[in-house]
Each structure stands twice: as structure tokens, then as C-alpha cells.
Structure 1
Amino acid sequence: MAETETPKATFRRVLLKISGEALMGDQQYGLHPPTVERIAREVKSVHDMGVEVCMVIGGGNIFRGLSGSAQGMERTTADYMGMLGTVMNALAMQSALETLKIHTRVVSAIPMDQVCEPYIRRRAVRHLEKKRIVIFAAGTGNPYFTTDTAATLRASEMACEAIFMGKQVDGVYDKDPKHHPDAKRYDTITYDQVLTEYLKVMDASAIALARDNSMPIIVFSLDEPGGFRTILAGEGTYTRVHG
């Protein structure tokens, strides 16, 4: 009986932030349904621990506003297109989670009532209290702000205890471990170190917002099976960004 017992989670409410590229699998762009399903199972395993989970998913697998702007498109238009990409990803994740019998709500910063709910903070909090997974889409609803900033903003508004950044590496390194075998991984690091050393965790405005709200950031590998659940059980390999 003890072997199958669900471990006690170290956090009560968390926000999981993943990039749109995490949903591509081995493809060059778009959605890879088996990868979406795998990530949904990871989220379900944490939900089954009794943790209240909300999510922010980027849109870079469909359209990235900054790159569109670099190619001559007006920046505001490009950013809105990127926000619509995040809605598509959120709906795909909702479908995968509901296939696993998890009640899920997509909440958009841009009203589109026939597709998902508009963002109303109190309603979103109530969904979490009812143990529904809430996926925040369309960023902050404003151009010039990334989904990293949206994740930090929503995590603060939802009174989350930490932001979990699902990456392709198991933490924060002083240089890219894929190209530098001698790269050093940090167990813990401060917000100011991330900013001054230009470490690729989140963009600067998101890190500053997390620092101002004392919001811990846990950077871990989403490619490691069971990694999300393991860390919430107080084990595993990750980097904690804090004050």
C-alpha cells in the first residue's frame, strides 16, 4: 500500500509555464499531438497529488511576434498574431487534459466568448479552488509583453506559490550545456544574478516582476518523464531562482 501512496506535494498552488516549441515534438513547427498528450499526463500526475495547477503556454510553435516584426510586419499586429497562437495551444492542451478526465478551463486575456472564457481574476481563482486546471491564453492581452511576463503576472494574481518553468534542460546553467560540456548548473540563483549575467530563464521584465513579488521560479526539464511530479514531491534536479 505504501508503495502506491501519493507523495505529499511541497506546494499547494503553482503555475506551469512552457514554451510553444515544447509542443512541437520533433517537428519544425505546429503541434505534435503525442507530445501534447505526454505533457498533459505530466500535468495530470501533479493534479492527482491535490496541487492546484494553472498554465501559460507560449505561441512560438505557431507564430512569434518578435520574429514577425523583424521581417517587416508592424510589431503590434505581429504580437496579436502571436497571442492568437497561444490560444490555439491552450485549446489543444485543454483537449488533451479533458481526454484524461481533468476539468480544464481556457481563460483568454482577449475576449473570444465562443472559444473560451474572458479573464476575470476572481472567476479564475474559483476554478482553481474547484480543482480545475486553468490555462491562461493570449498573454497579457497587450503587445510588447511576452508570455513569460504573462506567466509571472498571472502567478502573482492567482497567489501561486511558485512558477515552474518547463525547459529542455534540468535547470539554469552559466552557458548552454548542449554546446559546452563544462557548463555549470546552479542549484539556486538570485533574480539579480539572472539579470546581471544575462542567463536565459525568462525575459528581464518577467524576472523583475517575479523579484518584486517574491515569486520563486523553479527551472526543470519537462523532457524528463515524471520530473514535474518528482520536484513537487521535494526531489529531483532543478534550479530555484529566488531573492
Structure 2
Amino acid sequence: MSYKNIETIKYSRILLKLSGEALMQSGEKSCIDPDFIDQICQEIKDIYENGCQIAVVVGGGNICRGATMSKIGIDRANADYMGMLATIINAIAIQGKLENYGVATRVQSAISMPPVAEPYIRRRAIRHMEKGRVVIFSGGTGNPFFTTDSAAILRAIETNCDIVLKGTQVDGVYSADPKIYSNALHYNNISYEKIIQNGLHFMDTAAVALAQENEMPIIVFNVHKQGSLKNALMHQGNMTFIGNL
């Protein structure tokens, strides 16, 4: 697929990566922001109704981060499993809201949890999307020491997605944290190699390397801006496209 003529891009199957932090209600005790869940599910519904097949990978940082738990003395592997369980809670929340909007969904988990989620089975996930169901992947990769960014790239490759859309709290990839450095440079387009060489930490290096090896393009956009998901798919507005440039 050519990405040069951005006005004519058509993605038939996408994977949306949502961080747990994106779901967090700022300044409140609630770990899940109901307004944000409502916004992003409306946007997913809009894309879904336009015939796009959709998978979602969600993080768990709004509830529990493995890296943080390990710093207080919990074994890192156990801490990461705690984080995986948090992603399942978020996946169920997204599923509930999507189904409230009439969107058929399935939650699949890399950790066995039959009462609330199917086990992750690649062919079944693909079939669900072919039948018009949004598939929400939870439990990360099912292995400690791997981030949900790595899980997102892995699942996108496994299920033959056209692109990964990573929703963040800023509108793309910058040379430095734009919340701290006002003169940080925004990249409209950037190669995997430059991201790795420059140590840009919007996504962990292992995930970027996996995307590069399998030529999986990534779009980074501000998920908190209304309509940003659709704009990112159309390559409109502020965003960053990552690929072999």
C-alpha cells in the first residue's frame, strides 16, 4: 500500500492502541474517565459504521503499572501480571460502552479468564473482525517484561492490520516532551530508524523495532481531541506518520 497520496488512503483493518493513562480521570479518584470512554467509543463507532474492521489494545496504567509496582518491592514478573489484569478491566469497560452504542464486540485475553473474555486465538480474532465485530485485546502479550505497546504491534501483525494508531496525550512525536520543552520539534513523518537512533520514547524500543522488521506503519495522534481518530485515519490535522520513509 502506498502512503504518498494521503487523500486517497483507505485502511480496511486497523488496530487502535489506547494507553491506560488516556482512560484516567484527571484530578479525580475514579480510575476510568466516563467522559473519555464515551468520546472514544463514539469515534470507534463512527469508523466502524464506515466499514472499517477494528481491533483495540488497551493498557492498564490507570489502574496498575507493573514498572511502578516493582519499585515498591513486588517481584517484577508478578507486578507485570498485575498490570495485565488491569488491562482486562479496561477492556471490559470499553466493551460495555461500545455495546451500549450497538457495536458488536469481543474481548480476547492473553491470560485465561473464561467468565469475561475469550482466550486469544489469532484466527478467531480475524474471523470476528471479518464478521463486523470490534475485537479488544487484553492481557498484553501474556508475558511479563513486555509492554502493551509491544502487544499492540504484535497483534496488528498477527491479525493482518493495515496500520496501528497510537492515541496519546500529545499530537504526535516530538524531539522532546512538548509539555516540558516549548521548543520541542514536532515530526509530521519520521522513520523507525530515526526514532530508535534518537531514543524518542513515545513507544518502547522493542515495539518500534518489531514494527520496523514487519513494516507495520504507525500513526501517533492526540486521542483527547474530538474527532482525532477519524482525522488520523485520513491523515488530517496534527499527527505523526511512522514508517520506512
- SS class of match (1:102): coil
Q: Against the structure 1 CA distance between its residues 152 and 70, is the aligned structure 2 distance closer, same or farther, given a 3 Å change threshold? A: same
Q: Is the 8 A contact 2:41 2:98 kept in 1?
A: yes
Deviation at 1:8, TM superposition (A): 8.0
Partner of 1:97: 98
Deviation at 1:235, TM superposition (A): 2.1
Partner of 1:3: none
Task: Find out whether 1:193 has 2:194 as its counterpart.
Answer: yes
CA distance in 1, matches of 2:113, 2:242: 35
CA distance in 1, matches of 2:81, 2:155: 19
Deviation at 1:192, TM superposition (A): 1.2
Q: Could you tell me which amino acid in structure 2 is paired with residue 237 of structure 1? A: N
Kindly report which structure 2 residues correspond to 1:206-225, keeping only aligned pairs within 5 A, or say none.
206-225=207-226
Kindly report which structure 2 residues correspond to 1:98-177, keeping only aligned pairs within 5 A, or say none.
98-177=99-178
Deviation at 1:29, TM superposition (A): 5.8
Deviation at 1:9, TM superposition (A): 6.4
CA distance in 1, matches of 2:66, 2:94: 21
Deviation at 1:16, TM superposition (A): 0.4
Partner of 2:4: none
Q: Is the 8 A contact 2:172 2:187 kept in 1?
A: yes
Partner of 2:3: none
CA deviations over 1:163-214 (Å, ceiling 9, x no partner):
0000111111111111222111101111111111111221011011000100
CA distance in 1, matches of 2:29, 2:199: 27
Note the residue ranges of structure 1 that are not aligned, 5 or more in a row. 1-6
Deviation at 1:236, TM superposition (A): 2.2
Q: Could you tell me which amino acid in structure 2 is paired with residue 11 of structure 1? A: Y
- SS class of match (1:143): coil
* Segment drifting more, 191-200 vs 150-159: 191-200
Q: Is the 8 A contact 1:14 1:54 kept in 2?
A: yes
- SS class of match (2:106): strand
Task: Find out whether 1:16 has 2:16 as its counterpart.
Answer: yes
CA distance in 1, matches of 2:34, 2:232: 25
Number of aligned residue pairs: 237
Partner of 1:179: 180
CA distance in 2, matches of 1:192, 1:234: 21
Q: Is the 8 A contact 2:219 2:232 kept in 1?
A: no
- SS class of match (1:97): helix
CA distance in 2, matches of 1:204, 1:117: 29
- SS class of match (1:199): coil
Q: Is the 8 A contact 2:66 2:79 kept in 1?
A: yes
- SS class of match (1:131): coil
Q: Is the 8 A contact 1:65 1:82 kept in 2?
A: yes
Q: Against the structure 1 CA distance between its residues 12 and 52, is the aligned structure 2 distance closer, same or farther, given a 3 Å change threshold? A: same
If the length of structure 2 is used for normalisation, what is the TM-score?
0.93
Q: Could you tell me which amino acid in structure 1 is paired with residue 18 of structure 2? A: I
Partner of 2:231: 230
CA distance in 2, matches of 1:119, 1:8: 33
Q: Could you tell me which amino acid in structure 2 is paired with residue 23 of structure 1? A: L
Note the residue ranges of structure 2 that are not aligned, 5 or more in a row. 1-6
Q: Could you tell me which amino acid in structure 1 is paired with residue 12 of structure 2? A: R
Q: Against the structure 1 CA distance between its residues 29 and 149, is the aligned structure 2 distance closer, same or farther, given a 3 Å change threshold? A: farther
Deviation at 1:134, TM superposition (A): 0.4
Q: Is the 8 A contact 1:164 1:218 kept in 2?
A: yes
CA distance in 1, matches of 2:8, 2:189: 23
Residue identity over aligned pairs, in percent, reads 47
CA distance in 2, matches of 1:172, 1:47: 26
Q: Is the 8 A contact 2:153 2:207 kept in 1?
A: yes
